[in-house]
Structure 1
Amino acid sequence: MVRNPERRTALVDAAIEVLAREGARGLTFRAVDSEAKVPPGTASNYFTSRDDLFTQAGRHIHVRMTPDPAEVSEAMRPAPSRELVASLMHWLLRRIVKERTGYLAMLELRLEATRRPELREALTEAIRADLEANIRFHLDAGLPGDADTVRLLYFAMTGLLVEHLTLPGVLGEDEGAAERLVQMVVDRVLGS
């Protein structure tokens, strides 16, 4: 197997782009090579199978979607409060909308994980670790609520993001609907 970490990362990023645009059926070595603008056959030198490509994309997508630590530090400057939690949830919405491709690819990976045990294992491990890290972050930062608060926010925001990115018309014609729903989620989970 070829060992060029930069090329592997470029190929996995290309796979994420293909997933978001074409879906799981469109994720082929040829499509990844084309998206990455590398010679035909390159992806097959880096991944043993399509399953391997899916699994590597599933492991990498969280790296791609993780915010820059400097941005996190800036977002955390205000004192811990309900308002800060709301601000962080609004920031999450803006980040996901900005990284729409990555989130859509994540949804494709989640669906594909129902059919691919190795991918399911990789995604479950990554998402569980991410959720646990978010819980620790929330508690360590002294934000209001407990671990269950973070879980409720996570699951409510996940559902909102799926609708907002895939079927925005469900929320209506009003462009501010998603932002208002984020505020309502925070208000209801933390109590008014």
Structure 2
Amino acid sequence: MAYVAAAAVLLGLLVVTNLILTVGVVRRLREHTAELAALRGGGSGGLDVDVAMPAGTPVGGFDATSVADLPVSLATLGERPLVGFFSPNCQPCKEKLPSFVEYAATRPQGRDAVLAVTIGTREETAALAELLGPVATVVVESDQGPVQRAFGVSGFPAFVLVEEGVVSASGFDLAPVVDRDAVALPAAG
């Protein structure tokens, strides 16, 4: 009888320990889910997340080659380029790509003032390049390539508006960048 009582107490302690650990894991998963949802929604959810250089930062120099084998640098893009960074395996990139393409098609400066940087090999990014090609100069580069480094990109998608070599708006969400561009367009025209 003593063995049964000891086994019951031991089993009870194991169940309580398991319950405590399970509650801790569930709480941590909820925190992670909330953080991911905030990031996917374009908000920072209280997190200090910059996916590119903040406004007011000068853009670093870079030299790249477009998929059309043309040289690309900040100087070749004009005074007010819009730049988007996309990864083919990024779900938020796929969600925000149509809005970027739609907006880029309406910019008065045309496709020469829009740069789309796709991250990966030409084969991996072929579908992205096909969608972006009609509205932007497309550059394919590996992760942390020269264009990414010049704009301080650390996440995808990233959108950057540059005015005279300085970042005027940037972020994970296209809307604030578009808003800044719309304000600056009358002044530039």
Q: Which TM-score bucket, shorter chain as reference?
A: under 0.3
Higher helix share: 1
TM-score, normalising length from structure 1? Answer: 0.23
Structure of greater Rg: 2
Higher relative contact order (CA 8 A, sep 6+): 2
TM-score, normalising length from structure 2? Answer: 0.23
Higher strand share: 2
